[in-house]
A and B are shown apart, each in its own frame.
Chain A
């Protein structure tokens, strides 16, 4: 290999030096308040939503063992998979849409990584103190005090993480039963595993990995710049106004000293959760959290300069041009989003509430009866996706002379959002078949509702080839 492809050792050293632990300084201000509101709101939704009930079940319940997703009044089945796919496409497209308009709004205010990191930072600051106290503590040799402080922090972090893991699993298994079971050590093996797994991931991501998740692990962070254009809202340092930077006493006229408005206090670097310097220009590490905007505005206030040396702006605005909000791609994304959302709504509204699945008995291909006829065995699954009890009649068609035998009284009641499995046998004289196998159709009809029903094809095996 040529030398150029293998960087010298010094380079790796540099990367290590660059990846020193970030101690973001606490910041107050308009955007910090907005972010706190976002964090509290989203955490409230996350921890609160599984406790809501709808009828006699959990309102939002992804019942994986039951293969049903309950979302308020709706129940979704594996057959509705395309709706989920559509929902994911809508989510991705919304992200594109908002990114084009407003940059990394998602990253700075709503991403779970940001939300839980903020919560963990808050706890850390209450226990270890502010940025300088944290740095001092980390430099200090290990001793009783350091052990006590770090121990307390991790204990609280872990309890919080464990509660997060419990809540997460509570979306999949009714939370009102899960909590007491967990604290009395009665959760199943896999449940316990996933609670601990999610708790560990929370603790690791929000306590240790932090900005590295954004920089090294997040796919969105890598490709978001492709959605940026010159009219996208970004956070930027006003270089023309700020440079040349330099410290000065309050009240000194910067023009006299030949200085710009930046007093080079480095506060914007200290508050940055990803440890970058916004004055170096737009970088992909910047998650758009606006912490540097808040802190620099405070500095500007103190100095008696106008605010906005670091501010939300667009590239065009920085260059003195007009910012256009309605650009072709924004309109395109918006239209596409509208169409897909309408499609989703239509898909949900026009779902057939009656479902039928046909599963052939795979152990026995067919059986010959004493009377010369051939019998095939199936399991029918009758699905009721509506929110009230329905009674189903089952019939077959498409196979002349076939007899359907079901050892149940018709109609069969199927509970709201439920499945009923029905063993069914179909009998037929094989002489009427002109091929070894034939297709037949199973039909489920709702009693008392002539228009409601669904059908599914099955295969009848008459003889071996």
Chain B
């Protein structure tokens, strides 16, 4: 196998996996750290409009929010990792 480039970059599907998967892992880790530190039920006492938020809802939303952010980071890395001028 002539390994000129990482096989990860050969197809769109693999590229998408290479962006979403590491960001999923890091977002999971960040979610655990964030919510061990902060209790969303306490937070909802002080954030206006957040009274009805349940802990499970906050955890889930927090996870997807963090995933979105880490995915942007992964996507940028992937984008800048490409040879320029194509």
Contact = CB atoms under 8 A, between A and B. Distances in A.
Interface of A: 1, 4-7, 11-12, 14-16, 18, 64-65, 67, 78, 81, 188-191, 193-194, 216-217, 219, 359, 362-363
B85 A11 contact: no
Interface string B1-15: 110110110110010
Contact of A15 (B10, B21, B85): B10
10 contacts: A6-B86, A15-B7, A78-B36, A190-B57, A191-B56, A193-B60, A194-B60, A216-B14, A219-B25, A362-B46
Nearest to A218: B21
A435 B4 CA distance: 67
A216 B83 contact: no
Contacts of A64: 55-56, 59
Interface residues of B, number: 29
B5 A190 contact: no
B76 interface: no
Interface string B43-86: 00110000000111101100000000000000000000001111
Contacts of B85: 1
Contacts, number: 57
A67 B56 contact: no
Given A78-B39, A359-B42, A65 B11 contact: no
Given A217-B21, A359-B42, A6 B2 contact: no
Contact of B55 (A6, A18, A65, A216): A65
B17 A216 contact: yes
A5 B9 CA distance: 13
Interface of B: 1-2, 4-5, 7-8, 10-11, 14, 17-18, 21, 25, 36-37, 39, 42, 45-46, 54-57, 59-60, 83-86
A160 B14 CA distance: 27
Given A64-B55, A65-B55, A5 B83 contact: yes
B39 A67 contact: yes
Contacts of B39: 67, 78
Given A5-B83, A16-B11, A216-B8, A188 B56 contact: yes
A5 B18 CA distance: 20
Given A16-B10, A64-B56, 15 more contacts: A1-B85, A5-B83, A7-B2, A11-B4, A11-B5, A14-B2, A65-B55, A67-B55, A188-B56, A190-B57, A190-B60, A193-B60, A216-B17, A219-B25, A363-B46
Nearest to A219: B25
Contacts of B56: 64-65, 188, 190-191
Nearest to A18: B1
B60 A81 contact: no
Contacts of B4: 4, 7, 11
A95 B54 CA distance: 37
Contacts of B54: 65, 190
A65 B55 CA distance: 5
B4 to A, nearest CB: 4
A64 B22 CA distance: 24
Q: In the complex, which of the residues B7, B18, B46, B86 has the most CB atoms of chain A within 10 Å of its own CB atom?
A: B7
Nearest to A10: B2
A193 B60 CA distance: 10
Nearest to A283: B1
Contacts of B42: 359
Contacts of A217: 17, 21
Nearest to A66: B55
Contacts of B83: 1, 5-6
B48 to A, nearest CB: 11
B61 to A, nearest CB: 9
B47 to A, nearest CB: 11
B84 A1 contact: yes
Contacts of A219: 25
A16 B7 CA distance: 10
Contacts of A1: 83-86
Contacts of B36: 78, 81
A2 to B, nearest CB: 9
B60 A11 contact: no
